[in-house]
Amino acid sequence: MELSKTVNLAKELVCIKSVTPDDNGCQDLIAKILEPYGFSIRFISSNGTKNLLAFHGTGAPLTLFLGHTDVVPTGDETTWDYPPFSGKIITKDDGKHYLYGRGSSDMKGGDAAMICAMLEYIEQKPDHKGTIGLLLTSNEEGDAVGGTPYVVEFLKKENIIPDYCIIGECSCDEVFGDSIKNGRRGDLNATIVVNGIQGHAALEQHAKNAVFEASRFISAMLDNPIDNGTQFFPPTSFQVSNISAGTGADNVIPGVCTLRCNFRWNDLQTPEKIEKHVREVAKSCGIDCTMDFREEGKPFLTKEGLLIDALKASIIEVTGITPSLGTSGGTSDGRFIRPLGTQTVEFGPVSNLIHKVNEMVCTEDLDSLTRIYVKTLEKLMK
């Protein structure tokens, strides 16, 4: 089968193993594609993270496409149906073709659609009004150190403030076109070390199992939700992402249990309020523990405006679907762009397979996504 420019580029990118924060040549490949079109290209690197910043045109408005070239680890590759960096095109029972592999939907497919849309628009209007920009980082799936927030400081220093930012992250919930994410909850991580009393497994009367203590704490957190959500955001969530305990011996009751917890917080909360809530829950249960919290990003929201209007109209033109606005799901690097005053939204493929074994994305959706981005540029850059 003949593949479109978008799918071909996405396939090339998927075949590059770029586990965060290693770009492993993705951005060099993209730069070579952009150069013949007259983009000014700059690589900005810091702390092992590589960023590509490219611009075409001059003046306002500045529409910035934002993405990332890194992917999450594959896990056990033997659990995948095909090699996770094969970029294989498969046909499913629905008769549609899918690009298979780690990063296909999160977010190399979106990267390819953004890039091909920019190039198609420039081919149509080489002397277009305003500026079209692209920012790609190799550290979005990790801690973002040296990534988008580092580049944002450069943009502020150079007084380069985008008017609009479109992020090609997976935004759709059930079918392609059904949702624009016009905001995301904040991201807060915590390490909670629960203390018990170590002892012999047969002498439980002389010990206190730290895992049991941790389970009491988790149950209490689930029974005492932080909030019930707001007009624009879902409730603040609490998840335990990692648990470690024990000495490795089968006959020792663990005296310490370490929890790694994640909170996705809405506009009712602050990290300080969440920490206070968590400490109060632990105290009410009599849990002996220490806690350390780290904020990874604040919530952001873009209300109605020209960007949402243009994107929504373009989605309807291409898909016939009227998208809803939402803030559910994971966070993105939009949290670093929105504070600049930039209208910021996410729109990309369906999100049901991101970070999973056998990740894939519908090739038809990638081509539709490219057309939507082109139409959106036409409306924004008048």
Tell me which residues are annotated as active site: 70, 140
Question: What is the side-by-side strand order in the sheet with 131-137?
Answer: 40-46, 49-57, 131-137, 62-68, 164-167, 343-346, 179-181, 324-326
Residue ranges of the alpha helices (H) in 263-305?
271-285
Q: Which two tokens stand for residue 211?
A: 């895992």
In single-letter form, the type of residue at position 14 comes to V
Whether residue 353 contacts residue 361, with contact meaning beta carbons closer than 8 Å, is answered with yes
For 312-342, what is the HEC assignment?
A: HHHHHHHHCCCCEEECCCCCCCHHHHHHHCC
CA 217-222-226 angle, 5° bins: 105
Which one, of 3, 5, 2, 67, lies nearest residue 370 by Cα?
Answer: 5
State the Cα–Cα distance between residues 142 and 114, nearest whole angstrom: 22
Whether residue 196 contacts residue 257, with contact meaning beta carbons closer than 8 Å, is answered with yes
Q: Which residues pair with 167 in a beta bridge?
A: 66, 346
